[in-house]
Amino acid sequence: MPLNLPHVCGSAAKGLFKEFKFAVPWGHIAAKSCGPPQGRPVLCLHGWLDNANSFDRLIPLLPKDNYYVAIDFPGHGLSSHRPNGVAYNFLEYISDVRRVVERLEWNKFVIMGHSMGGNVGGLFSCIFPDMVERLILVDSCGFVPYRKDKLVLQMQKGIEALLKWEKQEHPPKVYSPLTALQRLLKANTSLSEASAQILLQRGATEVPGGLVFNRDFRINLDTPYRTPLEQCLEYQKKIQASVLIILAKNGILWSKYYADETSPFKAVVEGYKTAKSEFRLEIVEGDHHVHLNEPEHVAGIITDFLSKDATSKL
């Protein structure tokens, strides 16, 4: 059944977004949208432990004629948790994206992803290359390359971690609003206090005595599935979309990986330069959550990329 999609996009946070849900077999995927539904479709994918509010400060700075839909991945924000016995991994997240765009009846669209959301977007773009027009990666390179000699051990760790979790009791913990904010800031050192408050609005629910976090804490468990660098590079060749990568100078990739000439992440970024699709790499001031903390640092770059062909092969 087609959704009753909103037609609003204001300049202030209040009233900017319209909330809705996509039914899935285990519950629902929550989403929020901004802009005219007939506009160019842009799917916004948040990072690990975050939620759809991750784009609240960026979207108002981007072209108003686009239709932005930001989802909460399952186990995050306002979306349902996965069923008992089911692990969280990239393959499932890719299926989630496919379910969402099918409901939206999108055949061609832009993906804008931060961190984990960018990695999901990169994998989706090579599995369904005809569907993605442009791929915007914020502090992400679209893949998480892993050492192939560690793959079997990672699978073992992921499976064992889930089984151990299922044998334990996990009653919800209630925090005062201040304690919840402090806990979020401690776990995400790249967040400003204002950004943490934005994420907390969607990431916690008020209960008697305080707040409980909405997230499924199984998302903290080791994932059993990883992709070796060689496979990442093969997947990458399938991408047809124009690609924009924005790395923050104090972010995860630039400061910890990209500056290392032997880093597999650097090899992935370099791989885009030899791809047939157009590629643009931008380095900006800021931290891992630059798009939320200081959206003005990336808004102009993204607007330019959305507004015209990307011709740079930096």
The two beta strands, 145-146 and 227-228, are parallel
How crowded is the C-beta side of 21, counted as CA atoms within 13 Å?
A: 12
d(CA 223, CA 314): 33
- Given 54, 79, 80, 115, which residue is catalytic? 115
Alpha helices in 16-150 (DSSP H): 90-104, 116-127
List residues bridging with 88 in a β-sheet.
none
314 close to 278: Cβ distance less than 8 angstroms: no
d(CA 300, CA 256): 25
Phi, psi of 312 (to 5 degrees): -75, 135
Q: State yes or no: is 95 an active-site residue.
A: no
Hey, which residues are catalytic here? 115
